[in-house]
Amino acid sequence: MDSLDMITSDLFRYKGMNFPVNEKLRPKDIDALKDFEIRPTDVFIITFPKSGTVWMQQILSQIMEASHPGWAEDVTNRAKIPYLEGRTVDDPFRDRKEPRVLYTHLFLELLPHGVKEKQIKVVYVLRNPKDVLVSLYHFAHSWVLMDSPTSFEVFFKQFMDGKQFVGSWFAHVKQYVAAQEQLKIHIVRFQVENP
């Protein structure tokens, strides 16, 4: 992967977005996502990492199960609502019951074509960047695909410069807020109240 635009030893930049270096997600795999078959009943959860993805997966799982009994026999959020960028060659999403719910961290221009063309439902979860930063910092210490931060100060600068996982929080949010008229987006704000 040395021909890629390396951001850090664990991240590469491709089409304006930062991805973890691993053999399961290469530029050709990212490009292939543009042609991922979208069904009119699909629902997408789109978030910047650490913005409430699992929280929204749990909420939508409960809604789907209440409205479509037997919708998901799997027990984990990850199995019920798979990660688009984590799809494998055998494409397990194709066999999922409708309506399918998937989640992604992709920037707008990297989404499958059908998201816009078929005007599928998108739930965009927005969280305060300070909370995202702190959560991502702690997550980076345990995620095997990311180097552990050397200090919070260095991590903060990388976050502000868009040189952490996914890229710029500011660009991600700006794209999706601006796309409300192009896409069928419902924006949900994830906020933790301090006691």
Q: Which residues are catalytic?
A: 105
CA dihedral 126, 104, 95, 120 (to 10 degrees): 60
Q: In what order do the strands lie in the sheet with 43-47?
A: 101-104, 43-47, 121-127, 184-190
CA dihedral 59, 121, 41, 86 (to 10 degrees): -70
The CA-based diameter of the chain, rounded to the nearest angstrom, is 49
| Rounded Cα distance, 134 and 159, in Å | 10
CA nearest 55: which of 65, 45, 68, 42?
Answer: 45
| Rounded Cα distance, 190 and 128, in Å | 8
